[in-house]
Amino acid sequence: MQNLQKLVVPVSIIIAGGLIAGAIYLTNSKPANIGAAGAKAGIADIAKNAATPKTEIAPVTAVDHIQGDASKATVTIIEYSDTECPFCKRHHQTISKIFAEYGKDNKVAWVYRHFPLDFHKKAPKEAEATECANELGGSKAFWDYIGVIYDKTPSNDGLDLALLPEFADQVGLDKVAFKKCLDSGKYAAKITEATNAGLKAGARGTPYTVLVVRQGSKTQNIPLVNEQGSSLGALPYESMKAVIDSFLK
């Protein structure tokens, strides 16, 4: 991942350039590139002349892990993430704070999608563990469980996988049933499919964030990327909030 200090710059430029969501005509066309050049050119031109290559971002459906109501939210944040990525650890906390602030009145919904990186060897198994939590305890257990992983892991494959059943116990799940599910590997293929879907969606590193912005019956997928199409990464809360606010005005 790029240095966080560098990642903040494009968003700061956007905010200074006056990113106003109401100025965008939202369509189902290819994603808009939110970069410095776009801020200078104007928001309307970003949607029309996006530099980001056409991607295939899967629509949000009931099979996703969702907090809030994505069918009503003005902005749905799709988080493509890796539980062993230190930047993702920070980003997950930021989005959690954003959702706590805006999720109650359907301004924002939150979708989590798995995107474990090749060099984080423990991340795929941790992703499988979250799916076992979901199987045994539903959506709440999934979000509680993944929250524990992000809270406990030192990142970069520093988490002892033997602790995964203990985390299940912490969120109120049957530890024996959880371990049986995890040991079976039944969700390994699902994690691989999620990773492939992330690649099609434009993810190359983590965290990778896509905003699904709704205006009436029109929606547009807006990846938070720079002019080269690289993810802006783990934005500070203030920067992420400013971007969200711009679309809610």
Q: What is the pLDDT of residues 109-157, one digit of tens each?
A: 999 999 999 999 999 999 999 999 999 999 999 999 999 999 999 999 9
Amino acid 94: pLDDT? 98
Residue range 22-28: mean pLDDT, rounded: 27
Instruction: Please give the model's pTM, rounded to 2 decimal places.
Output: 0.81
Structure tokens at 194: 């999620």
User: pLDDT band for position 53 (50/70/90)?
Assistant: low
Residue range 186-191: mean pLDDT, rounded: 98
Amino acid 14: pLDDT? 44
Q: What is the DSSP letter of 155?
A: S
Position with higher pLDDT, 232 vs 13 = 232
Contacts 24+ apart (CB under 8 A), 195-200: 195/114, 195/115, 195/116, 197/58, 197/113, 198/80, 198/113, 198/114, 198/115, 200/55, 200/56, 200/57, 200/58
Amino acid 186: pLDDT? 98
The domains of the chain are located at 4-248
CA-based nearest residue to 65, from 143, 163, 153, 162: 143
Amino acid 215: pLDDT? 87
14-28, 62-76, 226-240: which is most confident: 62-76
Structure tokens at 1: 């991942």
Amino acid 111: pLDDT? 98
What residues pair up with 64 in beta bridges, in sequence order?
Answer: none
In angstroms, the CA 11 to CA 58 distance is 25
Amino acid 227: pLDDT? 83
Amino acid 11: pLDDT? 41
Each residue's pLDDT tens digit, 64-122: 999 999 999 999 999 999 999 999 999 999 999 999 999 999 999 999 999 999 999 99
**Phi/psi-derived region of residue 151, left when phi > 0, alpha when psi is between -120 and 50, beta in every other case:** alpha
Fold of the domain built from segment(s) 4-248: Glutaredoxin (3.40.30)
Which residues in the chain belong to E strands, given as ranges?
65-67, 75-81, 108-114, 208-215, 218-223
Structure tokens at 45: 């031109």
What is the side-by-side strand order in the sheet with 108-114?
A: 65-67, 108-114, 75-81, 208-215, 218-223
SS3 labels along 29-59: CCCCCCCHHHHHHCHHHHHHCCCCCCCCCCC
What is the CA 203 to chain-centroid distance, rounded? 10
